[in-house]
Chains A and B, each alone.
Chain A
């Protein structure tokens, strides 16, 4: 019965694979999200399969399953006061999800299989908007399928590791440049589309319990470079001229999903749990978004990104109100990996302040529902992307950006 439910959930969610606002989305657990998405040191439920699989050896239930979904509304507003250009995105609500499981084989070993979506982005501007030569719309998604084996070395130390299978998809449209049109004045544009792009990475983690109430943990997920090699590039509204030889073509590209190091600690006292995490995302690997077209007549597309590694600082607290209800709140500060002058509108991320609240409610002995609410606050900033080239001249695109995100999340935990 439980297994059937698990598989059904997986099937259901895999059809909803689309994600939000930026390209890394921290929505990998209903319990953790309510606590500022901190959880590397927390031993609580199967969400640990994301935060720290090594800690799962300490779970109470022989089988534990956690599943959840978030509903992300995000909006990007852009304006340029010199030209009066104003734009706000029409991003659809996106739905990152997760399904985690853990099973104790014996006192020493636990295994599990999880599915989650840590990377993704859906950004939709009005077609032909002021920055349409950079992006009209983008839909990036990556589904991580991750088995783990966790081993308890002793009561204080446990470790875990496993492979990570990633299935990615991209659907990206932009105009070919700022002015090219067909005879009727329709802007020339290209759509690149690839799905079912697969790649394998790995993960490893450790949990150390120096004393009963204190857990310290670390998790590392390897970098994976997704390289769609058989995607379709479709050119639209291209003038009939030998000077614009844009014919539909296969394309290949490289898009890194950077490595991530999570370090955290959790401390329990009285009815309180306090969690503090530090995350480092190794974005430095994302140098450039390059698209090579198979058709040699179509010039390749080179888009410098030059990201830098970025840190996130997470703080969360839980108060166990009674046997049934736990109240949670948290905050995290998320550094942008985007450098000055590289602010591309397809992932317009600035430093953000993130506020979370939520609650967990036990239903019977086996089930718990976790609800959380995330509000992402970005400062209004003036920024530009200075590396778009037109006839050998760099033409900056910029203005003021104001971004916001809001995500309610609901999760359910089953414990046997």
Chain B
């Protein structure tokens, strides 16, 4: 009898005790993940659009929520990380308003026509983010879309009055701490224990996406003389970057630096094939007839020493049955319009058309917007004015080999600087250049497929062809986590890349 009583009481007690159903080791327990020698309690992210979470040619809320710094912060939370405040946009449309007037485009969405053909389209919506409605910080995400390296040091980069003179950036206007502050000052104000710095992309990107219409400013270290599409002088970049790192590590903070990816690996430069124009034999012959005189003139110009033989060959135009490359303007060619007019061979209009003309070749990159230009009529009333056949694609739609080389040279120099500073300061380092090359060449596997740089369908790049999708950012964030774990002996968890979205389908 007594035994039964005891059994009764014991089992009742057991039931109550055993009701605690926690895992033996719970992932949310302190110490399950560690930050190693890094202190992740306050994190600040400094950079450009890539840091802001920009995608689909705009900054919008859900993009910011999937920004790589926000993903990092969600990982840091497992090992002492604190709140991560971002200057969120007001909506998911993306456009900015300045005193009610829209000054940047809405985001792009993927539309489909009735036949199911995809078409990246600008979202039709009325944006609500007014940049004069100032946000109060301090913010942990100081990614400013459009910023070049030296902009981060510029006082007044968030000045409302500086907007009209081009000295300020509308995104920074929204959340700068004062009219005179610089991005780096606001970042240092956070007194972060950990930082990320990814800057320098725009120092070459503007030149590349404008088809090289800007100047290569190598040799000129005065950024006040630069245009928006210029390449930043590498020694200026080195000086600026070093100052930024000095500033961010001044309080002893640890951090991660990311280098500059080769812009020519992104879909913006790799989607439109060079041999984009189909032609039958008869048409090719007819078109070649139009250029007969030009091709002959080239030899005459060699004789006149106006151009050399190599240039003459490069400029020789020949269409064939099958796929053909378009004719383009290449500003690195000798301008022969003067000599053509002088010779009286052609009228002024034709001379200008032929001035820096050649046919594109496989070394050239046709830019994404050229997709909607090639084969259209330059002059709607003239059926002969076909772009790429009778009228050359303008300089800003083509990145020639020479232009690519300028971009590449600058990039290599920037990256040498970044890597040197990372090891000098014992900082973690993300080789974004190598990683995005991997994505472009073989793709990177994830749990439901392979992430590639294929435009629209590859999953890594958003509809602007330049910025990653949320999934692309998640991939980069994971690689940063790995670099941080390696460098600081941390054990932070990664995210599942497959759970992050890619492009958004929407019909206006």
Contacts and interface: CB of A to CB of B under 8 A. Distances in A.
Contacts of A333: none
B162 interface: no
A14 B169 CA distance: 65
Nearest to B32: A81
B26 A183 contact: no
A377 B18 contact: yes
A82 B495 CA distance: 8
A126 to B, nearest CB: 14
A278 interface: no
Interface stretch (A72-80, A259-267, A337-345): A72-80
Nearest to A178: B499
A408 B67 CA distance: 48
A329 B1 CA distance: 14
A336 to B, nearest CB: 17
B22 interface: yes
Interface stretch (B6-14, B182-190, B217-225, B321-329): B6-14
Contacts of A327: 4, 8
B9 to A, nearest CB: 10
Nearest to A242: B112
B-side interface mostly: loop
Contacts of B15: 355, 357, 373, 375, 406
A298 interface: no
Contacts of B28: 79, 84, 86
B16 to A, nearest CB: 9
A185 B506 contact: no
Interface string B452-473: 0000000000000000000100
Contacts of B435: none
B11 A329 contact: yes
B14 A355 contact: yes
Interface in B468-508: 471, 493-496, 498-502, 504-507
B282 interface: no
Nearest to B499: A178
B41 interface: no
A391 interface: yes
A323 to B, nearest CB: 15
Nearest to A78: B23
Contacts of A396: 447
Contacts of A377: 18
Given A77-B21, A355-B11, A355-B14, A183 B504 contact: yes
Given A243-B505, A319-B4, A82 B494 contact: yes
B437 to A, nearest CB: 25
Interface centre among B26, B109, B123, B505 (most CB of A within 10 A): B505
Interface in B155-211: none
Interface residues of B, number: 50
Contacts, number: 123
Contacts of A75: 21
B92 interface: yes
Given A82-B493, A355-B14, A239 B92 contact: no
B315 interface: no
Contacts of B75: 84
A18 B123 CA distance: 45
A178 B11 contact: no
Contacts of B501: 179-181, 185
Nearest to A403: B21
Contacts of B78: 84
A395 interface: yes
B507 A242 contact: yes
A179 B506 CA distance: 15
A403 B114 CA distance: 49
Nearest to B110: A241
Contacts of A402: 21-23
B92 A329 contact: no
A391 B92 contact: no
B27 interface: yes
B330 to A, nearest CB: 40
A181 B63 CA distance: 12
Interface string A266-288: 00000000000000000000000
A240 interface: yes
B275 to A, nearest CB: 30
Contact of A391 (B25, B65, B448): B448
A390 B1 CA distance: 61
Contacts of B14: 355, 375
B226 interface: no
Contacts of B499: 130, 178-179
B7 A390 contact: no
B506 A240 contact: yes
A324 to B, nearest CB: 15
B68 to A, nearest CB: 16
A400 interface: yes
Contacts of B8: 327, 329, 357
Contact of A241 (B112, B448, B493): B112
B137 interface: no
A84 B506 contact: no
A181 B496 contact: no
Interface in B1-50: 1, 4, 7-8, 11-12, 14-15, 18-19, 21-28, 32-33
B254 interface: no
A53 B466 CA distance: 73
A404 B504 contact: no
Interface string A384-404: 000000110101100010111
B494 A243 contact: no
Given A84-B75, A86-B26, A396-B447, 9 more contacts: A79-B26, A83-B495, A84-B78, A85-B496, A183-B504, A321-B1, A329-B7, A357-B8, A357-B11
Interface of B: 1, 4, 7-8, 11-12, 14-15, 18-19, 21-28, 32-33, 61-62, 65, 75, 78, 92, 109-112, 114, 116, 123, 447-449, 471, 493-496, 498-502, 504-507
29 contacts: A79-B23, A79-B27, A81-B27, A82-B493, A83-B496, A84-B493, A86-B27, A180-B501, A181-B504, A183-B92, A183-B123, A183-B506, A184-B92, A185-B62, A185-B92, A239-B506, A240-B507, A243-B116, A243-B505, A321-B4, A329-B8, A357-B8, A357-B11, A357-B15, A375-B18, A380-B23, A380-B24, A390-B448, A395-B447
